[in-house]
Amino acid sequence: MDEEIKKALYKKAVGYTAKEVVEEYGGEDGNLVKKKVSKKHIPPDMTAIKTLIDIDQDAGELADKSDEELEEMLKKLTIELGECQE
C-alpha cells in the first residue's frame, strides 16, 4: 500500500484537528467582509481503525476483536491521551 495513503488512513483512524476557514463576501464590490478561522476536531473513525488492523499483519489479536471491544479500547486510549496532554 502506498505510504501516503497509509498515513492518511492512520490520521483518520486516530482523529485529528483541522483548520476551518469561513469567508464572507459582500458589499457593492464583492470584497471580503469577514474571515473566521477556527480549529475543528475530527474524531477517530472506526472503519479506518479496522482497515488498518486488517492491513497490518502484526496486529493479529486486534483483528479478532468486535466493534464494541475496539470502541471500548478507543475510549480508554482517548482518555489516557487526554490526561497525558494536560
For 7-23, write each residue's pLDDT tens digit.
888 899 889 999 999 99
* pLDDT tens per residue across span 49-63: 888 777 765 556 666
C-alpha–C-alpha distance, residues 77 and 63, integer Å: 17
Tell if the pTM clears 0.75, that is, is over it: no
For the chain, which residues make up each domain, given as ranges? 3-85
The alpha carbon torsion through 17, 21, 22, 28 (nearest 10 deg) reads: 180
Q: DSSP assignment, residue 27?
A: T
Q: Give CA angle at 28 (25, 33), nearest 5°.
A: 30
